[in-house]
Structure 1
Amino acid sequence: MPEILPGPQRLLPPQQPPVRGHDRGEGGGEEEGVLLRVLPGPFGEAERAGGHAQGVHPGDPPPGRLAQQLQSRRGQRPAAGKTAPEGLQLPGRGQAAVPQQPGHLLERGPGSDLLHRKSGEEQHPRLAIHAAQTGRGRHDPFQSFSDLGVHWVSPFQSVSLPIPSSARPGWVVNLDFKINLTHGTVWSVDDRFLTAQEAAAELGISLATLYAYASRGMLRSEPVPGMARAKRYRREDVLRLKEKKELRRYPEQAAEKAAPKALSWGMPVLESALTLIRDGRLYYRGRDAVELARTSTVEEVAALLWTGDPGDAGRLFAGEPPPIGWPLPGGLTPIERCQIAVPLAGAQDLAAWDLRPAGVAATGARILRFMAGVAAGYPPSSSSIAKLLQFGWAQGRPEVAGPIGAALILAADHELNVSAFTARCVASANASPWDVVSAGLAALKGSRHGGHTERVEALFREVGTAEEARQVLADRLRRGEPIPGCGHTLYPDGDPRGAALLEMAREIAPESPEVELALAMADAYRELIHEHPTIDHGLVALSRALELPERTPIALFALGRTIGWIGHAIEQYGVDKLIRPRAAYVGEMPETA
Structure 2
Amino acid sequence: MDWIDAATAADRLGVKPATLYAYVSRGVLKRRHDGRRSMFDAAEVEQLARRGRPRGQPPELVIESSITALGLDRPYYRGHDALSLARTHPFESVAELLWTDSPGTWPADPSASRGGRDLHEAADPGGEALSRGAGAYPVGRVVSLSESAGRGVAQGEAAAEPGGFWAGEAGALRAAVAAQRGLPVELLPLDRLQVIVTVLGASDSLRHQLDPASVAATGRRLISGLVDALPLVGEGTTGTIAERLWPRLTAREPAPALVDALRAAMVLLADHELAASTLAARVAASAKADPYAVVLTGLGVLGGPLHGGASYGAERMLAEVTDPGLAPRVIGERVRRGERIPGFGHSVYKNGDARGAALLDLVESAAPGHDRVAAARAILSETRRRRLPEHNIDMALATLAAVAGMVPGAGEAVFAIARTAGWLAHAMEEYGKGTLLRLRASYTGPPPNPPTRPT
Instruction: Identify the residue that residue 501 of structure 1 maps to in structure 2.
Output: 359
Check the 8 A contact 2:285/2:291 in 1, yes or no: yes
Q: Could you say which structure has the larger radius of gyration?
A: 1
Q: 2:97 aligns with which of 304, 317, 322?
A: 304
Deviation at 1:248, TM superposition (A): 7.8
C-alpha spacing 1:243/1:557, structure 2 compared with 1 (3 Å): farther
Instruction: Identify the residue that residue 352 of structure 1 maps to in structure 2.
Output: 207
Q: 1:274 aligns with which of 60, 67, 81?
A: 67
Check the 8 A contact 1:343/1:434 in 2, yes or no: yes
Instruction: Identify the residue that residue 262 of structure 1 maps to in structure 2.
Output: 60
C-alpha spacing 1:235/1:418, structure 2 compared with 1 (3 Å): closer
Please state if 1:324 is matched with 2:174: yes
Taking the TM superposition and a 5 Å limit, the aligned residue runs for 1:170-249 are 211-212=1-2, 214-216=3-5, 236-238=27-29
Check the 8 A contact 1:319/1:382 in 2, yes or no: no
Deviation at 1:428, TM superposition (A): 0.4
Instruction: Identify the residue that residue 288 of structure 1 maps to in structure 2.
Output: 81
Deviation at 1:588, TM superposition (A): 1.8
5+ long unaligned stretches in structure 2: 10-23, 32-39, 108-113, 124-160
Instruction: Identify the residue that residue 303 of structure 2 maps to in structure 1.
Output: 445
Instruction: Identify the residue that residue 528 of structure 1 maps to in structure 2.
Output: 386
Check the 8 A contact 1:320/1:382 in 2, yes or no: no
Please state if 1:428 is matched with 2:224: no
What do the CA deviations read for 1:440-488 (whole angstroms, capped 9, x no partner)?
A: 0000011121112111112112232211112321233234333221111
Instruction: Identify the residue that residue 139 of structure 2 maps to in structure 1.
Output: none
Instruction: Identify the residue that residue 194 of structure 2 maps to in structure 1.
Output: 339
What letter is aligned with 1:488? H
TM-score, with length taken from structure 2: 0.72
Instruction: Identify the residue that residue 553 of structure 1 maps to in structure 2.
Output: 411
In structure 1, distance between residues paired with 2:26 and 2:437:
31
Deviation at 1:382, TM superposition (A): 6.6
Please state if 1:388 is matched with 2:244: yes
Check the 8 A contact 1:305/1:564 in 2, yes or no: yes
In structure 1, distance between residues paired with 2:44 and 2:293:
35
In structure 2, distance between residues paired with 1:433 and 1:234:
29
In structure 2, distance between residues paired with 1:324 and 1:570:
28
C-alpha spacing 1:216/1:414, structure 2 compared with 1 (3 Å): closer
C-alpha spacing 1:389/1:239, structure 2 compared with 1 (3 Å): closer
Moved more, 529-538 or 439-448: 529-538
Check the 8 A contact 1:375/1:555 in 2, yes or no: no
What letter is aligned with 2:168? P
Higher helix proportion (structure 1 or 2): 2
In structure 2, distance between residues paired with 1:515 and 1:507:
10
In structure 1, distance between residues paired with 2:215 and 2:237:
20
Structure with the larger RCO, 1 or 2 (CA within 8 Å, 6+ apart): 2
5+ long unaligned stretches in structure 1: 1-210, 220-232, 264-268
Check the 8 A contact 1:411/1:561 in 2, yes or no: yes
Please state if 1:375 is matched with 2:173: no
What do the CA deviations read for 1:473-513 (whole angstroms, capped 9, x no partner)?
A: 12332343332211112112210111011101110111110
C-alpha spacing 1:472/1:380, structure 2 compared with 1 (3 Å): closer
Deviation at 1:398, TM superposition (A): 4.8
In structure 1, distance between residues paired with 2:227 and 2:348:
29
Moved more, 484-493 or 559-568: 484-493
Deviation at 1:279, TM superposition (A): 2.4
Instruction: Identify the residue that residue 139 of structure 1 maps to in structure 2.
Output: none
What do the CA deviations read for 1:379-414 (whole angstroms, capped 9, x no partner)?
A: 999732111112333453252422211111111111
C-alpha spacing 1:234/1:408, structure 2 compared with 1 (3 Å): closer
In structure 1, distance between residues paired with 2:179 and 2:74:
42
User: Percent identity over the alignment?
Assistant: 35
Q: 1:585 aligns with which of 432, 435, 443?
A: 443
Q: 1:397 aligns with which of 254, 257, 280?
A: 254
In structure 2, distance between residues paired with 1:216 and 1:451:
37
Check the 8 A contact 1:335/1:375 in 2, yes or no: no
Moved more, 579-588 or 241-250: 241-250
C-alpha spacing 1:577/1:523, structure 2 compared with 1 (3 Å): same
What letter is aligned with 1:301? V
SS at match of 2:400: helix
What do the CA deviations read for 1:67-121 (whole angstroms, capped 9, x no partner)?
A: xxxxxxxxxxxxxxxxxxxxxxxxxxxxxxxxxxxxxxxxxxxxxxxxxxxxxxx
Check the 8 A contact 1:412/1:560 in 2, yes or no: yes
C-alpha spacing 1:508/1:354, structure 2 compared with 1 (3 Å): same
